[in-house]
Structure formats: C-alpha cells, structure tokens
A and B are shown apart, each in its own frame.
Chain A
C-alpha cells in the first residue's frame, strides 16, 4: 500500500510539468499503470468503510452529508475537463461511495430501492453499447449538432435502443456457460 502511494506521488507530481500530447493522454487517462491509482483509492475507501464506519446517529445529518457528497460528484462531472489531477475525481467518488455505503440517510435509502438495483444490473451493458448506438445513428442519419425537435426525438430513440440492447445483452451473457465460468457448488 505504501509503495502504491509512493508510486502515486511520483507519477502525479510530474504531471503538471508535462505538455498535453497523445502520449500523456495515454499515460494519465488510458494506461493501467496510472489508473491503478484510482483503483487504489477505491480500495482505500473500501478499507475505510470496513474498518472505520461513520458513527453518526442522526439520519438528517447523514442525509446532508449524502447530499453534499452527491453535489460534489455532480460538480466534478460538470467540470471534469478543468480538473488537472484526474485522481481528485477518484477521491471525490470514493468519498461519495463511502458516505452512501453507510446507508444511514434518506438518499441512500431512496437509491436502495429495487428499481435502482435493477438499473445497476444493466448499467455495465448500457455503458458498453450506448456509444455504438449513438454513433451508428449519428453517422447513418447524418445528424448535426443543435437542440432541434428532431435531435431530441432521435436522442430518445437512441436511449430506448441502447436500453433494449443492454437488457437483451445482459440477459444473454448472464445465461452463457463460458469456459471461465465458475460453477456454483450446491450447498
């Protein structure tokens, strides 16, 4: 862990000295050698969650903390391009997960509803398929930028197609018996 954070400090401290090139984008955005730091932030959050749970009893105070952490995440998403150190995004998300993981406020109670659990199940397939649906429709229909009625309608169509495909693919892959599938032993 200590080695991981030492590595993180070295990598991050040189970042401002580097000019934005394709190579730097690869190093700091795509490469597993750097993104492992975000993973370690997540692991640290899991450690904190397990070993140091928040001892706040007030549901109202926990709700305020949840709202604040969620607000931070939203601000972070909006201004992501202006954040020079990408690991800050990881810390803010980890903080949000840590607070929501306590499940002591009204917001976490709301997000624990079964509809959100179901949405979470399909989020991975939605993430993987949405780009292809959007780009295929944009290229095929030659859609232009702009907030027109047709574009809004097409956005809804794209969303519906992505959602349907996500559902089908998730259900299909869930039933697959792959060579690396671990067989569940019967109790």
Chain B
C-alpha cells in the first residue's frame, strides 16, 4: 500500500521474492501430502496424480469447484496468499495514490 505510485518495484522481482519464501516448502508439503493420500488414506494413485497440477499451480482456492484442503489441508493458506500478493501488486499499481515509501512491496 505504501508502494502506491512507486514504479521502481517491478513485478518479476516482487513475485520472485515471495515465491522464494513460500513456494519451496509448500511444494515439499504437497509431496508429503501426496504420500499421505496414497499410503495412509489408501487413495488411488492416479486419481491423486491427476489432481496434483491444481495444487502445484496453487489453483485450489481460486474456484469453489476444487477441494481447497486437498493434499495438505493447511496449504490452502499459501495458495490464497500467493494470489493475494498477485492481486495486491496490480491493485497498488492501478491506484496512483502517493502514499510515500515502499516497504510493503519489498
């Protein structure tokens, strides 16, 4: 929000920084989640693999048609947060208020 009107913050570094912080652990937790679904819950392996791209791409919370809590239940939060980061970047760029500073975008 404090980054309103600050053009020095570019989209790619902004998202890279957030992905670097959140995604690696999220991805590993999905692998653990898949193992849990296959070996503990005895779910069909192919059924699990087919659903995997939705969770890998963090799409599970974008629509109500997929289970947001599949694979690893708490991981929905990371998916939602990454989308919010994305919205926030465009939202802050679209609104040309000059709030000064840019620490929220760093």
Q: Do A and B come from one complex?
A: yes
**CB-CB under 8 A for A182 and B40, given A1-B95, A32-B84, A47-B99:** no
Residue in contact with A135 in the complex, picked from B2, B40, B97, CB distance below 8 Å = B40
User: How many residues of chain B get a CB closer than 8 Å to chain A's CBs?
Assistant: 45
Interfacial residues of chain B within 18-33, with CB under 8 A of chain A in the complex: 19-20, 22-26, 28-29, 32-33
| Residues from chain A with Cβ under 8 Å of B47 in the complex | none
Interface centre among A22, A47, A124, A131 (most CB of B within 10 A): A131
Is A176 a contact of B24 with CB atoms below 8 Å?
A: yes
**CB-CB under 8 A for A128 and B74, given A31-B80, A36-B88:** yes
Interfacial residues of chain B within 36-95, with CB under 8 A of chain A in the complex: 36, 40-41, 61-62, 64, 68, 72-78, 80-81, 83-84, 87-88, 91, 95
12 A-B pairs in the complex with CB atoms less than 8 angstroms apart:
A1-B1, A1-B97, A22-B64, A31-B64, A32-B83, A36-B84, A47-B1, A50-B2, A131-B73, A136-B40, A176-B24, A180-B15
| Residues from chain B with Cβ under 8 Å of A35 in the complex | 80, 84
Interfacial residues of chain A within 89-127, with CB under 8 A of chain B in the complex: 124-125, 127
Residue in contact with A132 in the complex, picked from B33, B68, B95, CB distance below 8 Å = B33
| Residues from chain A with Cβ under 8 Å of B78 in the complex | 128
**CB-CB under 8 A for A173 and B28, given A36-B87, A50-B101:** yes
A30–B76 Cα distance when bound, in Å, is 7
Which DSSP category, helix, strand, loop or mixed, fits chain B's interface?
helix
Which DSSP category, helix, strand, loop or mixed, fits chain A's interface?
helix
Is A169 a contact of B36 with CB atoms below 8 Å?
A: no
Q: With an 8 A cutoff between CB atoms, is A16 at the interface?
A: no
Taking the nearest CB of chain A, how far is it from the CB of B93, in angstroms?
13
A172–B32 Cα distance when bound, in Å, is 15
The interface stretch among A38-46, A73-81, A153-161 is A38-46
Is A182 a contact of B84 with CB atoms below 8 Å?
A: no
Residue in contact with B29 in the complex, picked from A4, A27, A128, CB distance below 8 Å = A128
Residue in contact with B104 in the complex, picked from A27, A43, A132, CB distance below 8 Å = A43
Is B13 a contact of A182 with CB atoms below 8 Å?
A: yes
Is A182 a contact of B16 with CB atoms below 8 Å?
A: yes
Is B72 a contact of A132 with CB atoms below 8 Å?
A: yes
**CB-CB under 8 A for A178 and B88, given A46-B2, A131-B73, A132-B29:** no
A169–B25 Cα distance when bound, in Å, is 7
Is A170 a contact of B83 with CB atoms below 8 Å?
A: no
Interface 0/1 of A135-152, CB less than 8 Å to B: 110011000000000000
Q: With an 8 A cutoff between CB atoms, is A8 at the interface?
A: no
**CB-CB under 8 A for A46 and B104, given A1-B97, A39-B88, A132-B29:** yes
Residue in contact with A131 in the complex, picked from B19, B62, B72, B87, CB distance below 8 Å = B72
Taking the nearest CB of chain B, how far is it from the CB of A141, in angstroms?
11
